[in-house]
Structure 1
């Protein structure tokens, strides 16, 4: 069990945990498998764009969820909510009859390819484990997380990791020797992840796109701490062509950032958020002020990574 979780796993009335967004520096997508998933080779990085999850004991039995912040009106508060599923799963696993309110304060853009729902689920697992004094090992938490979704295990620890399988098989032994700076641009478009995977398959049936599994050059560059200028040409997203095919306006957003001086522009995951790599923090802030980019994006956020996830660095409890 992580030292952070052990240190804070005492009964309290309220536990508050922050959790970062996830981006993919490399997202290689294999062919459709018999189980309905695709093989993935991906390099995850957690970035400094955070949701805050607060879990409080309640005098009413059961679990309730409330949401504030960016895109709150788009987040379901019923059985579809992944954070609620996480709390219920942990309650069953820990033989707890929960009586709690889960509050999500959103800053990670909703349905943006940044794993906001998975991040909230990971934070809820950590927060509820503290609140209910469940002293779980890292392995237990990660197994519970994997049962919730492919991105949830990474969101627990954050940092940087190589993901294989459907993304849930993680190698956290990677050491990023440098910090990288990003502008995260949201758009008015909406793309569901299943829709984007279907478009990947459709395009490949027409010989458009391939599985980018060769990730070693990027891993070596990250471990060597190479500057952003040398990282930029190594970034890959096999879902990008599908996302642009479904929402052609994303191409205009990407070109706006490149015209403004970004080192690279890529769709984040299945989209529709677009990531722009900057040379450093000052360059990222300058990009975010670009009139052309501001005119093309719904909203712009400046972030850096890698940063720690909730199981590694907690904001504490009250």
Structure 2
């Protein structure tokens, strides 16, 4: 266990999932939907929030019929009053909550100089202000209760590294990363019993592309290496009961972070060359603006999207984050083996 994780464990001893009440925003599709189903299967009580009330009702009934405890609240996280309503629903239904997952998000595909200011502001209302409202609500609740709790914010590979075409989305994720790191330091300084985790997903196979507001001629998609939403849900639920600073989902997420930090100009040129063809499907015309979920709820109850490429079954990075000691032993063993082999061959 490294010093970072040791310090986190000392300040926030979190409950097991089966004993938790978990709030999940953006629960009607994609990562939020998968996380809700997996959390319920592990025995957690759930407070599900999204703008799509019909999908929330269907999901809640599905979970309740399977013997799980769940309630829902229709809410737009871009509105502070709606976020307060989510918390009040949790308190009324279960008396408290133990983990708050800021998962809700919207996307825009379009060049920075083309996207309207109105669309930019709407995206930031959900992606940034929704996280701020949720973070402060969760932290205040944990402070008031005087017991440890977890706050889990959804970052992105594009929060570590900018990108063409999704420049506005990337900017909102940069803001989330900065907010999360700053809030974590302030709470750590005051020794608050709050575990704050930032999730860094790579390309995930969800309806993200179908829901996005698009300025492109062709339909947005993820291409190349794509990870399942279950891998992100696994990371979220691990962080809910084990204090972690950051969890990367997919090797591409960590690779982009490392390349961008150490070789920024090279990374610029590489990504400029490949980003365009990995973000849309030239065989399909783009959805109309009215079909996006930027200003209203998108369709719900879909875990996967219509993405193209190599669809992975899991993320090794998430597995490594869950078993840090074993991972270090394996890496050390491989390193020693490599050094000995080099010596024998020299």
TM-score range, shorter-chain basis? under 0.3
RCO higher in 1 or 2 (8 Å CA, sep ≥ 6)?
A: 1
- Which structure dedicates a bigger proportion of its chain to helix? 2
* TM-score (structure 2 length as normaliser): 0.24
- Which structure dedicates a bigger proportion of its chain to strand? 1
In our comparison, the structure showing a higher alpha carbon Rg is 2
* TM-score (structure 1 length as normaliser): 0.26
